[in-house]
Structure 1
Amino acid sequence: MTLSEEVAEESAGEAAPPPPPSRGRMVARRFLSSWQGRAGALVLALVFLLAFAGPLVSPWSATAKDFTSFLAPPSAAHWFGTLRTGADVFAVTLSGLRRSLAVGLLAAVVCTALAALAGAFAGYFLGWTDRVITWVTDLLLVLPAFLVLAVLSPLAGPGRWPLFVLLLALLLWMVTAKMARAMTISLRQREFVRAARYLGVPPVRIVLSHILPNLSSLLVVDATLNVSAAILTETSLSYFGFGIQPPDVSLGTLIADGSRTAVYAPWTFWFAAGLLVVTVLAVNLVGDALRDAFDPASRTTGKRR
């Protein structure tokens, strides 16, 4: 056997080095190594389980009324008491929780998608495209979002809460769009973008296929944090009567109704308020953990490592 054959045989016998982990696996590993991520994800999963599986074990529906029990305290018949109308607090609050979660998730998705497209197109094309988008962004930033939503909320009357979600998303995307624009301006000079441009790839396809995937870390974290922002905004508006309109209910409408009887019937207020606090806290913990997982140079991730 020649020397080259021996070297080839030894090389074949050696195990090939394992491929490096993908970015997604590294992000997932960092996220799961964070107590904030684990705790937030667990609590958020329990909130969703309670919202969607809770009505299956409840003896009352959200629309049912017990005319023999008005403002009754928690009991075996009504686990969290009843409202002034005789409705079961447990069933009604879970219905409001589902609506608030739907509002938060839908508003976050629409808001993040709009911010990503506006920021990416402004940063890539520059010129008049950038000027127009930046002008619209700056104009919406100086408008008082709460007041605008309060004025436009009558358009989203009873049964038209998806329109309210759209109005909410249209007033939450501007800051993320500015960050996406700044990142796109730096990405448009990268080699892979210039190579795609030289190969004749259409500009819109470059933005969608090359720019947006590289903004994924910003967009994922932003979408997560926008969930809590949308829930809190909807709750605040509903508390003052400008958000979700009856007969639809949300945590905001329940907190507003329960605040009138919170002194002598606290079960009408604290259950909805507690779920709101727990949900927003869990979403923020998940968002912070995702931010640290996508950014290894962040302070908290550096400490863990």
Structure 2
Amino acid sequence: MSMSPQEIFEVASPAVAEPDATDQRVAAGQPITRGRLILRRFLRQKSGLAALVVLVLIFLLAYLGPYLTQWKFDEFDQATILSGPDGSHFMGVDEVGRDVYARTLKGLQKSLVIGLVAALVTTTIAALAGSLAGYFGKFVDTGVVWVIDLLLVLPGFLILAILSPVLAGKTWLWLVVLLSLFGWMVTGRVVRGMAMSLRERDYVHAAKFMGVPSMTIIKRHLLPNMASLLIVDVTINVGGIILAETGLSFFGFGVQPPDVSLGTVLSDAQPLATTYPHVFMFGAGLLVLTVLCVSVIGDALRDAIDPSSGSSRL
């Protein structure tokens, strides 16, 4: 018996990811959304949940912590230069009399913002460029692949080192643009390959047969099926971009004075790392802890989104 186009579309178009048998048993007897299933799987990842709690505490420390001290990040206390932690200066004072606690948290704020914004922009560029190239093919694919190959062969770090002091000196948003511009190519290639595979699925052909616009097909059927990759890519990019920004700022190519980031804080404290470790260790510890938490959360999200992952089962 023949089927109508609507019936073909409903049969051929699957959900983004079918829940595993365990989750079907859990959901039996009451309707449950995919979002609730993902949340339930994520809450079973103890390491990911712990990392999320620590990361939230880091954000709270970065934005609320400065209110716990009377000192500003650019304020000087010449009478207590290089003194250790005490009741007035929680993490001590640096070589010119600035409060280490206030200065490090100010730098942490800027590094977190740059990492989050640049990671979202980077993954968005990769998702759009890769899905368009994989779905449309032909000249669109040729153009995107040519851009990817060109950016991959360019010395990204050198270009960032040359342009960042000029552009980032005006606003840190230029640093976000530059980091995003040279960070999306590998993920874009992966997304392109996945899009080329997904466009051959029956539910995509059914949508085309029904006259669904191409951009709607990409939005409803291609990108949701890449959600696991894209979410994990965002989390990985956050950590990677924070490290990249810190490295550039450490060598003087990133955030420019009088602004401050973790890289500039560590750069100023590096000569005193062995003689006055309190000046260096607070910022270094926050950097390592932040990147570690982001990485663990990414792994937990991947397991929660992918129902075939063994660690996502009850």
- Residue 214 (structure 2) pairs with residue 203 (structure 1): yes
After TM superposition, list the pairs within 5 Å mapping 1:36-75 onto structure 2: 36-75=47-86
What is residue 255 of structure 1 aligned with on the other side?
266
CA distance in 1, matches of 2:51, 2:167: 32
Q: Cα offset for 1:20?
A: 5.1
Q: Cα offset for 1:159?
A: 4.3
- Residue 229 (structure 2) pairs with residue 218 (structure 1): yes
What is residue 197 of structure 2 aligned with on the other side?
186
CA distance in 1, matches of 2:74, 2:267: 18
- Residue 134 (structure 2) pairs with residue 131 (structure 1): no
Task: Choose the corresponding residue for 2:130, options 112, 119, 130.
Answer: 119
What do residues 239-274 of structure 1 show as CA deviations (whole Å, max 9, x unaligned)? 111111111111111111110111221111100000
Kindly provide the amino acid, as one letter, of the partner of residue 195 in structure 1: A
CA distance in 2, matches of 1:110, 1:293: 23
What is residue 9 of structure 1 aligned with on the other side?
none
Task: Choose the corresponding residue for 2:311, options 290, 301, 305.
Answer: 301
Check conservation: 1:36, 1:288, Cα contact below 8 A: no
CA distance in 2, matches of 1:204, 1:296: 27
CA distance in 1, matches of 2:96, 2:176: 28
| Structure number with larger C-alpha Rg | 1
Aligned length: 287
What is residue 20 of structure 2 aligned with on the other side?
none
Q: Cα offset for 1:108?
A: 0.3
CA distance in 1, matches of 2:255, 2:207: 46
Check conservation: 1:235, 1:253, Cα contact below 8 A: yes
Kindly provide the amino acid, as one letter, of the partner of residue 104 in structure 1: G
- Residue 146 (structure 2) pairs with residue 143 (structure 1): no
**Counterpart secondary structure, 1:90:** helix
Compute the RMSD of aligned alpha carbons.
Answer: 1.6
Give the TM-score taking structure 2 as reference length. Answer: 0.87
What do residues 193-224 of structure 1 show as CA deviations (whole Å, max 9, x unaligned)? 22222222222232233322222221111111
Note the residue ranges of structure 2 that are not aligned, 5 or more in a row: 1-27
- Counting aligned pairs with the same residue, the percent is 51
What is residue 14 of structure 1 aligned with on the other side?
none
CA distance in 2, matches of 1:197, 1:264: 68
Kindly provide the amino acid, as one letter, of the partner of residue 263 in structure 2: G
- Residue 238 (structure 2) pairs with residue 227 (structure 1): yes
CA distance in 1, matches of 2:39, 2:297: 12
Check conservation: 2:119, 2:235, Cα contact below 8 A: yes
Check conservation: 2:83, 2:93, Cα contact below 8 A: yes
CA distance in 1, matches of 2:42, 2:308: 14
CA distance in 1, matches of 2:153, 2:29: 53
- Residue 133 (structure 2) pairs with residue 94 (structure 1): no
* Range with bigger deviation, 113-122 or 58-67: 58-67
Kindly provide the amino acid, as one letter, of the partner of residue 164 in structure 2: S
**Counterpart secondary structure, 1:249:** coil
**Counterpart secondary structure, 1:82:** coil
What is residue 179 of structure 2 aligned with on the other side?
168
Task: Choose the corresponding residue for 2:115, options 98, 104, 116.
Answer: 104
Kindly provide the amino acid, as one letter, of the partner of residue 228 in structure 1: G
- Residue 157 (structure 2) pairs with residue 153 (structure 1): no
Check conservation: 1:158, 1:247, Cα contact below 8 A: no
Check conservation: 2:69, 2:88, Cα contact below 8 A: no
CA distance in 1, matches of 2:155, 2:295: 24
Q: Cα offset for 1:130?
A: 0.5
What do residues 30-52 of structure 1 show as CA deviations (whole Å, max 9, x unaligned)? 21111221111011011001011
What is residue 12 of structure 1 aligned with on the other side?
none
